[in-house]
Amino acid sequence: MALYVVRRLLSLIPVVLGMTLVLFLMLNFSGGDPAIALAGDNASEDILAVIRQRLGLDRPLHVRYLAWVGGLMRGDFGVSLIDGRPVLPTILHQLPATLLLMVGSMVVALGIGIPTGIISALYRRSFIDHASRLFALAGVSIPGFWLGLILILVLAYRWPLLPLAGYGTVRHLILPSLTLGTAMAALLMRLTRASLLEVLQEDYMRTAYAKGLSRAYAVFKHALRNGMLPIVTAIGLEIGILLGGTVIVESIFSWPGIGRLAYVRMLQRDAPMVMGNLLIYGLIFGLINLLTDMSYAFLDPRIRYD
């Protein structure tokens, strides 16, 4: 297992390098001039030339890219073009808020999606099953930003039960977590139901019933564990969607995480801060995929990483 983890970590190196190249080219060819964003539209060419020289924008593209990657290898993500603050400390300062939001969203998704999927599979073609499938259809169809605005309108404005926006208490976490976790809960519900329905038809489940095991014990001890592999895979992939969704949700609820930071700095064309944010997103997603693969051996003892 240790050798497998080392190999996977080493395999992240070319992935990260490719990601840095894509990010750098994408932001440099997206249009607009950071010098104009800093000096204003009415700035003279002399002032713009001085700013471009100070920022290194007058150097060739490949030289700027190599200089940026060299800084990354030293832990230097550069400085913000807007306020001159170091990029990495700024991101790390706001990263805990985003991680907290992701944990809250995962609690919502797992707490709703998996139990609902289990009940729906056990009571197939019942009213509960039809209601659960309707919830899943609505959950994957409703845009996150629209759901967030509706939750604010109903639970924070019409009936002021929860804070409208902000950060600091558990009550502030509820609405953003519901907004971000509902779509994932719907997908997990559908996948749990399909996976469990397939496992319940296996011969070993009939053997478990024949041995006198209760239905609840047989489902949770045998069926659910054997049906968890595709669910765990989906959870690992869905975390990437959660990471992308934080940009919108944090902006709606004024949540001080790196998603809102990336959105604001993107509007200000703060390239170093945006590239640093996206790079941290990619690293988090790569590590989560590694943890997902490692969990397979725990769920299925037949899987080995020798």
What is the DSSP track for 245-279? HHHHHHHHTT--SHHHHHHHHHHTT-HHHHHHHHH
Classify residue 5: in a domain, yes or no. Answer: no
Angle at 68 between CA 64 and CA 72, to 5 degrees: 170
Domain that holds residue 55: 15-76
Residue 97 has pLDDT above 80, yes or no: yes
Where a domain ends, among 46, 76, 106?
Answer: 76
Number of domains in the chain: 2
Query: Where residue 150 sits, what CATH number does that domain have?
Result: 1.10.3720.10
For residues 122-130, give the mean pLDDT: 85
Q: Identify whether residues 136 and 248 lie together within a single domain.
A: yes
Q: What is the pLDDT of residues 169-225, one digit of tens each?
A: 888 999 999 998 888 888 888 888 888 888 777 777 777 777 777 777 777 777 777
pTM score above 0.85: no
Classify residue 36: in a domain, yes or no. Answer: yes
Where a domain ends, among 26, 42, 76?
Answer: 76
Classify residue 89: in a domain, yes or no. Answer: no
